[in-house]
Structure 1
Amino acid sequence: MVVLRLAGGRYHMHTGDFRFYAGLLSHPVLQEAREKVDIMYVDVTFADRQCAKFITKDESKRQLEALFSIYKDDYISFISGWLGSEELIERLDKWLQSNGGSELGVRSRQFFNDLKIANPHLRLKHVTGTDRDVPRIVVGKHPSESKAAIRQSGDRASVWIVASTRWYTRTCLSSMDTNQHQPILQTGPDGNSTWHVMWAMHSSYEEVHELVEFMGPCEVRPVGKVALPDQARYDPWEDPWEYRNDPQAPCTDPSLQFHDLLRKEKPAK
């Protein structure tokens, strides 16, 4: 999150990929800029009323720990999106250290190198095959992006644990009200269990709404690609409007739903 102070005591603000938390509004920079922001650039990836609530990142991590505890004797292919993966793997590493310790396998060489640079304390092993000596837990990218899940040989079962937002955007938006606080057991293509846990670095509609309402900017400009199906994708740095499913769908600026929260400038004296 970036807040720029301009001449005359005015401000521009860019939310970046933020998640709302209780102490955010008490930050001195936000307190100083409140009701002085001219333009607020807002991450609108999930800024839709369909995505009113997400579990917190800490809750997501606790759910992951619970799943690793359940499958403590099984091979696990741990799949996550790239954004924020370091946080999840650090948490997994701490969990392993407190439960006897274990070496983590990493499927992608790039992923392996980047994570070692970002977190030099992690004990990671680059996995190149499916031999019996591979670590019990192997980290990779989302299955839609690569063949990340490794099917280890041996007598132990193989379990997929997926931590990403793709699960919501592709399969579960219609049932978010009932399922958003729980991982859901689904059946994988080979009959093995696949657990999905919500992991979002982007804020929900409710989080964006609370921040915009608190800051009271004069103007909100959307930044990012809208991830919901059947809606326009907006990116001011690329072709302004791009459609995911229906090229004939009307253009809907995601920032319009926050119009009532904008500050009305007082007339100059």
Structure 2
Amino acid sequence: MDDSSFISNELDENGFPSCLAEDDGEGGDSCEEVDGVGIVDGSDGKGESFAGSFYRSGTDCSSLLQKDPSLTDTRKSSGTRLVQADLFKMWGLKRAADSKAGASLINGTRGSDDRALQKNPKLRRVGEDIATSGNVAKRNCPFYKRIAGTPFTVDAFRYGKIEGCTGYFLSHFHHDHYGGLRKEWSHGPIYCTPITARLVKSCLAVDSIFICSLELDTEYTIEGIKVTMLEANHCPGAAMIYFRLLDGRCYLHTGDFRACRRMQSHPLLSSQHPSVLYLDTTYCDPKYRFPSREDVLHYTVEIAKSGLKKQPKTLIVVGAYSIGKENVYLAISEALSIQIYVNASRRRILQSYGWDELSKRLSSDGHETPLHVLPISMLSFERLKQYLDGYRQFASVLAFRPTGWTYSEKIGEQLDLIKPKSKGRITIYGVPYSEHSSYLELKEFVQFLQPEKIIPTVNVGNAATRDKMQKCFQDWMKS
């Protein structure tokens, strides 16, 4: 992949790549395409609400969809923008007038699919049935979100009440996983980690009676099935979910995760091969062999030190989603002994983690520290220049965009080959810091677990991609 093919050079206002290469998307989740989005406070229109600020911070980059070849020339030239589906309704916010906004995405295509489904209800996406009620197409929960032999689903809230399901698991608080949860939720208990539980309650106002907090590494018996939440090494509160059925079979659902060696020492994972592994396959392609997070963190810290040495009046900016990338700005803060400025909305989220090491480093005054955290969508030359104009004590901006989508095969693990983009007083580094497993990490994890069956949960909407992944699985199990 050469520099011209980076899908991460331009991100939309929610942190998604604005130009998506084919097969880079997750077919299992839907987003809306919205033009001219404007968010206003639901109360008096003065300033931005907590919900609005949370929305602007974006979501996890794993929920990407393919470009629609049927888009008009005008749309193609302006680029496709993916945003968090139904978040306006979820938060009760108003948006700028846009009668065309809100087209759902099914099978990687947009509004035209809804009309096609109404005309032909036999159309369906792989793994997902389409039921009809009158003239409205309704999607049924896909098989890879249901845990076979149990009354449970994982990250399937957007499908509403699911027949036969008496327990809904939430792996972590990213919108492509919690989408569909609203304050009116009443379909059954929501099982998740304590951090995720606090976020579900405070951010979505779901009634506490439906929120069931499960501690990590603690075995619970739920409807006769033993369940254990395991650290997923993804974002705060993210968990892999280990199910031990009555007949002795064990299933592991990874949610979104980044595989690492320490997982192999966990007694549950080392004691029995899982019958079924529901696997996060975001980067299940041999071209994704990005470096370890530790190496990327070290590189980022060294660049930040060098930047401040050359120009002491440098403002360091780290782009982040609403949840995730905390280790990047925490590493810079610790190495340089400086505080971290975040706005009130993000500060509220970070403090909900109960992560003292991070909380004690947070600042509410952007003028007193040179380290600021901004939504990843802010990392453009124009927006950073405007932001810098508000802090006259700084002479330049050194910004980091930490996401696996910045990875280049040409650079690989040679981080020193990364070339920043500069314009005027603004310099932006794209660093391949991912919170999903690389191809080699997936391979090692699967070879360690030796599951009887693997069900991919990402990039499943394309037959060629599914076949390619299955071939990878077969090769891994043979070697």
Note if contact 2:258-2:435 (Cα within 8 Å) is conserved in structure 1: yes
Give me the whole-angstrom Cα distance separating, in 2, the residues matched to 1:124 and 1:14: 37
Change (3 A) 1:32 1:206: same
Which residue type is aligned with residue 57 of structure 1?
A: R
Higher mean alpha-carbon deviation, 213-222 vs 22-31, is at 22-31
Please state if 1:121 is matched with 2:336.
no
Which residue type is aligned with residue 432 of structure 2?
A: M
SS in 2 for 1:95: helix
Which residue type is aligned with residue 403 of structure 2?
A: S
Give me the whole-angstrom Cα distance separating, in 2, the residues matched to 1:141 and 1:126: 17
Counting aligned pairs with the same residue, the percent is 20
Aligned match of 2:10: none
Please state if 1:259 is matched with 2:478.
no
SS in 2 for 1:23: helix
Give me the whole-angstrom Cα distance separating, in 2, the residues matched to 1:153 and 1:183: 32
Give me the whole-angstrom Cα distance separating, in 1, the residues matched to 2:259 and 2:364: 34
Scaled by the length of structure 2, the TM-score of the pair is 0.42
Aligned match of 1:93: 333
Pairing partner for 1:66 from 302, 309, 314: 302
Aligned match of 1:112: 347
Q: Unpaired runs of 5+ in structure 1? A: 128-132, 225-232, 235-240, 243-249, 264-269
Scaled by the length of structure 1, the TM-score of the pair is 0.71
Give me the whole-angstrom Cα distance separating, in 2, the residues matched to 1:186 and 1:109: 30
Give me the whole-angstrom Cα distance separating, in 2, the residues matched to 1:141 and 1:44: 25
Pairs aligned (count):
224
Give me the whole-angstrom Cα distance separating, in 2, the residues matched to 1:64 and 1:3: 34
Q: CA RMSD in A?
A: 2.8
Aligned match of 1:205: 439
Give me the whole-angstrom Cα distance separating, in 2, the residues matched to 1:148 and 1:116: 27
Deviation of the 1:144 alpha carbon = 6.3
SS in 2 for 1:8: coil
Pairing partner for 1:55 from 275, 287, 291: 291
Note if contact 1:218-1:262 (Cα within 8 Å) is conserved in structure 2: no
Please state if 1:16 is matched with 2:251.
no
Pairing partner for 1:38 from 260, 264, 275: 275
Cα offsets for 1:82-133 (capped at 9, x unmatched): 4532222332332233xxxx33222x54223212332432222265xxxxx3
Relative contact order (alpha carbons < 8 A, sep ≥ 6): 1 or 2 greater? 1
Change (3 A) 1:183 1:197: farther
Deviation of the 1:148 alpha carbon = 6.7
Aligned match of 1:229: none
Cα offsets for 1:23-55 (capped at 9, x unmatched): 332322111122xx221000101111111x222
Q: After the TM superposition, which residues 69-218 of structure 1 pair with which residues of structure 2 at under 5 Å, given as runs?
A: 69-72=305-308, 73=312, 74-97=314-337, 102-106=338-342, 108-118=343-353, 119=355, 120-125=359-364, 127=366, 133=367, 135-143=369-377, 149=384, 150-151=387-388, 152-154=391-393, 156-168=395-407, 172=408, 174-177=409-412, 181-182=415-416, 184-190=418-424, 192-218=426-452
